[in-house]
Chains A and B, each alone.
Chain A
Amino acid sequence: MTQYSAFRLFREGLRGHKGWGKAWRSPTLQRAYDVVIIGGGGHGLATAYYLARNHGIRRVAVLEKGWLGGGNTGRNTTAIRSNYFYPESAALYDLSVRLYEGLSKELNYNVMFSQRGMLVCAHSEHDMEMATRQYNAMRLNGIDAELLTREEIRKRVPILNVSDTARFPVHGGVNQPRGGTGRHDAVAWGYARAADRLGVDIIQNCEVQGFVMEAGRCVGVQTSHGEVRAGVVGAAVAGHSSVLGQLAGYDLPIHSYALQAFVSEPIKPVLDTVVLAPAYGTYVSQSDKGGLVLGGGLDRVPSYGQRGNMPVQEGVIGSLIEMMPALAKVKLLRHWGGIVDVTPDSSPILGPSGVDGIYLNCGWGTGGFKAIPAGGYLFAHLLATGQHTDISRPFDLSRFKTGRLVDESAASGIAH
């Protein structure tokens, strides 16, 4: 397997890029594994990598019904942050940000994590008080945060309309300097390549269609490539979590919705941070290629229809033009949707499913790209040991019975 480096890039450049090998194998499915992971998105692939790296478990298969990262991992707007309200969430998402900080080096794959900051605007005096509360909570949670005035925001994001004539004037905001963006495909591919190097079998175009049960325990899965035995099964299928639950016989508190995103034609650099304006319900950043990457709130109709639609498009684009009127003439390049798994408290589910032998990594909803390293790290620990760590325990499925929810829905900026 080729080690990537600046020297290698230079050498390949001189030879017409003909010497690059495949980044991972395409193995055939074996009859049995210690761990079978369903879903080749970021969470499934990261889990496989950490199983091999942290726990020495290498007889691992990742089964993906389509192609790697073809689910939400390749469809998201790549915002990475840990600006959460509750200590449980901050511990989880900041573990992720810290892992992202070293990820390109660890995986020998450039995931282009750019800590360009994540600014959440406040649009009224009352918003400003809530912003201060958010800032204080973040500082108490040990997360970097800055409370900015309107003047400071004007200087930092000159393209943002902060004038009194704006539809929703900007009074100030909270910034997380360590927040930013990454390259979504690279996160999936980087983990896939690193997991493959450690012996993990990644099987694409392989759909899980049923579970093999013996004496009340799941001992394998039925797939479009035949039956596979598994010591333990981990499901990381995002919007399709309930579909698997119905096959296996566990209940979930999840609604699947489409979440949409948009990218514009490439333009010269105009924005060097991520800006979320909650009153408008829109957030935007600019990619290294120059495209404006924007998104908004969830569709209001539960759905498995993986595509965009007009009501949200009108809302998001109308809002962008109010936020940054200079962009009114910019053309849209693409528009798409992904199916996200939304829980009642907008927090993920990590832990046993209720069916012996099956564990869950799901419920990330609209915000699980930022959590891929931590989700994989903690899920690998669960699958290897059957035990929670202190960071994953609050996110166990049992919280819906005990009532101890981690209710981030009100604190996450856009009310999803």
Chain B
Amino acid sequence: MQIFTCPFCGPRDEREFHFVAEQGKVRPDTTQSVSDADWAAYLHTQRNEKGRVREVWMHTTCDEVFVMERHSVSMEVLATTALRKEST
């Protein structure tokens, strides 16, 4: 099994993780009117890159949500960074 590193729990079996989405999509401002094309792009368009990717993942055993950088051909994990905001 491949090992992914959860920023909260540390190195764990890949089967405990869930792919959420590509990182960096911004939800259109729904207080304004949004065109069909913009909304469709937000919902459906994917970069789906071959090579280095940045994605949002969840560690399903602890619910940590984080950004994973990895290589989509070699599957090598390059970095994992928590998305949690520090409480104020």
Interface residues of chain A, those whose CB is within 8 Å of chain B, are: 240, 242-243, 246, 251-256, 300-305, 309-311, 344, 400-403
The residue on B at minimum CB distance from A344 is B44
Closest chain A CB from B68 CB (angstroms)? 10
**Closest 8 A/B residue pairs (Cβ):** A253-B44, A242-B48, A401-B40, A251-B45, A304-B50, A400-B44, A304-B73, A304-B72
The residue in A253, A254, A301 that gathers the most chain B C-beta atoms within 10 A of its C-beta is: A301
Say which size band chain B's interface belongs to.
20 to 34
Main secondary structure of the interface of B (DSSP, over half): mixed
A/B interface sample: 6 pairs, CB < 8 A: A301-B75, A302-B19, A304-B50, A305-B73, A344-B43, A401-B40
CB-CB < 8 A to B44: which residues of A?
A: 253, 344, 400
Beta-carbon contacts under 8 Å, B50-88 to A: 50, 53, 55, 72-75
With A344-B44, A402-B36 given, can you name 4 additional A-B contacts, CB distance below 8 Å?
A242-B46, A242-B49, A243-B50, A344-B43
CB-CB < 8 A to A251: which residues of B?
A: 41, 45
A246 to B45, CA, bound (A): 12
Check B40–A400 contact: CB distance below 8 A. Answer: yes
The residue on A at minimum CB distance from B44 is A253
A256 to B49, CA, bound (A): 9
A303 to B19, CA, bound (A): 11
CB-CB < 8 A to A403: which residues of B?
A: 40
Q: Is B27 an interface residue (CB 8 A)?
A: no
Given A253-B45, A310-B1, also A401-B75 (CB < 8 A): no
The residue in B36, B48, B49, B53 that gathers the most chain A C-beta atoms within 10 A of its C-beta is: B48
- How many A-B pairs have beta carbons closer than 8 Å: the answer is 59
A121 to B73, CA, bound (A): 35
The residue on B at minimum CB distance from A401 is B40
Check A256–B48 contact: CB distance below 8 A. Answer: yes
Closest chain B CB from A71 CB (angstroms)? 14
CB-CB < 8 A to A400: which residues of B?
A: 40, 43-44
Check B18–A305 contact: CB distance below 8 A. Answer: no
CB-CB < 8 A to B15: which residues of A?
A: 311
Beta-carbon contacts under 8 Å, B1-48 to A: 1-2, 14-15, 18-19, 36-37, 40-41, 43-48
CB-CB < 8 A to A256: which residues of B?
A: 48, 50, 72
Q: Which of A255, A311, A344 contacts B48 (CB 8 A)?
A: A255
Closest chain B CB from A384 CB (angstroms)? 29
Given A309-B2, A310-B1, A311-B15, also A302-B37 (CB < 8 A): no
A344 to B45, CA, bound (A): 10
A255 to B49, CA, bound (A): 9
CB-CB < 8 A to A242: which residues of B?
A: 46-50
A252 to B43, CA, bound (A): 11
Check B1–A311 contact: CB distance below 8 A. Answer: yes
CB-CB < 8 A to B53: which residues of A?
A: 302
Given A305-B73, A401-B37, also A300-B47 (CB < 8 A): no
A255 to B46, CA, bound (A): 7
A242 to B36, CA, bound (A): 22
The residue on B at minimum CB distance from A253 is B44
A240 to B48, CA, bound (A): 9
Given A252-B45, A344-B44, also A303-B72 (CB < 8 A): yes
Q: Which of B19, B37, B49 contacts A301 (CB 8 A)?
A: B19
Closest chain B CB from A10 CB (angstroms)? 48
CB-CB < 8 A to B45: which residues of A?
A: 251-253
